[in-house]
């Protein structure tokens, strides 16, 4: 398959004519309808849309959590859409970090142990992973909170643990699904600035999914999704908008 090349180089992520249809009994629900898009290394891209627009389905497709009904998805030269469950799981462990709205911390583990989890899956020895996790917790402003369990932390602090966990292995790509949905406005600004600063400092690619326009303002590029289609792409750095043909 011929790769698109621009002044930014080859895309890190290429989504080609992806369609996703869910079957509910005899009814068919089209979640994504012929979506194509390129994302480049180091970009912060926000997928903006209301509930049911297809934005979370898009994230799941690119992360290999679901298979497209039709179309192709490449990260680098890896055909994500073709990988079996074992290979796509290994790929995610090495290359992808996740930040969730509901934090998804393990309640029986300390903050340090939660942050260390991705390093366990990579086979890093205990001494090294604790050292790395401590440094990551310091980077997100949680030095001194290592032994606290999630129940002993505020929502903002728990989300910082989630951010540290996503970033600790320096993955190439970070997926953030409504990362501030459970936070107040002040904490939202702090957490978003933290995420952006961290990914930019490491040259990582960040894909945000949200319904909140204020979150979209942190992105380099905003992709608006409606009814399973990309209807607009906005380059925040240059305030250039392009409306795409529906066909």
Average pLDDT over residues 163-169: 91
What confidence tier does 239 reach under pLDDT thresholds 50, 70, 90? very low
Provide the whole-model pTM: 0.85
* Per-residue model confidence (pLDDT) at position 187: 86
| b/e 79-110 (16+ beta carbons within 10 angstroms → b) | ebbebeeeebeebbeeebbbbbbebebeeeeb
Distance between CA atoms of residues 108 and 105, nearest Å:
9
* Per-residue model confidence (pLDDT) at position 42: 94
Average pLDDT over residues 73-94: 93
Quick check: 245 pLDDT over 50? Answer: no
Second-level CATH architecture of 42-64+93-241 = 3-Layer(aba) Sandwich (3.40)
Which of 4-8, 80-84, 90-94, 203-207 bottoms out in mean pLDDT, i.e. has the lowest? 4-8
For 188-197, the pLDDT digits (tens) are 888 899 899 9
* Per-residue model confidence (pLDDT) at position 246: 37
* Per-residue model confidence (pLDDT) at position 7: 52
* Per-residue model confidence (pLDDT) at position 84: 93
For 86-141, the pLDDT digits (tens) are 999 999 988 999 988 888 899 999 999 999 999 988 888 999 999 999 999 998 88
| b/e 219-233 (16+ beta carbons within 10 angstroms → b) | bbbbbbbeebbbeeb
Q: Which of 102, 58, 98 is nearest to 80 (CA)?
A: 58
Domain locations in the chain?
42-64+93-241
Percent of the chain at pLDDT > 70 equals 92
Beta bridge partners of 221: 45, 235
């Amino acid at each position: 398959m011929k790769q698109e090349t621009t002044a930014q180089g080859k895309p890190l992520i290429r989504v080609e004519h992806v369609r996703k249809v869910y079957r509910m009994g005899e009814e068919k629900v089209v979640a994504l309808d012929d979506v194509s898009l390129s994302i480049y290394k180091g970009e912060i891209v926000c997928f903006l849309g209301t509930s049911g627009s297809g934005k979370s389905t898009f994230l799941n497709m690119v992360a290999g959590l679901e298979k497209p009904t039709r179309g192709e998805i490449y990260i680098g030269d890896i055909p994500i859409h073709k990988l079996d469950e074992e290979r796509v799981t290994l790929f995610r462990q090495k290359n992808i970090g996740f930040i969730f709205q509901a934090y998804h911390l393990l309640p029986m583990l300390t903050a340090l142990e939660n942050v260390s989890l991705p390093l366990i899956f990579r086979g890093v020895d205990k001494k090294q992973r604790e050292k790395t996790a401590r440094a990551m917790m310091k980077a997100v402003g949680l030095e001194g909170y290592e032994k606290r369990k999630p129940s002993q932390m505020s929502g903002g602090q728990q989300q910082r643990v989630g951010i540290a966990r996503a970033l600790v292995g320096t993955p190439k790509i970070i997926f953030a699904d409504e990362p501030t949905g459970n936070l107040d406005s002040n904490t939202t600004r702090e957490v978003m600035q933290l995420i952006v600063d961290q990914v930019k400092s490491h040259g990582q690619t960040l894909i945000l999914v949200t319904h909140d326009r204020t979150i979209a303002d942190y992105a380099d590029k905003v992709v608006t999704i409606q009814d399973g289609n990309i209807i607009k792409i906005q380059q925040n750095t240059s305030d250039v908008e392009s409306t795409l043909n529906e066909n």
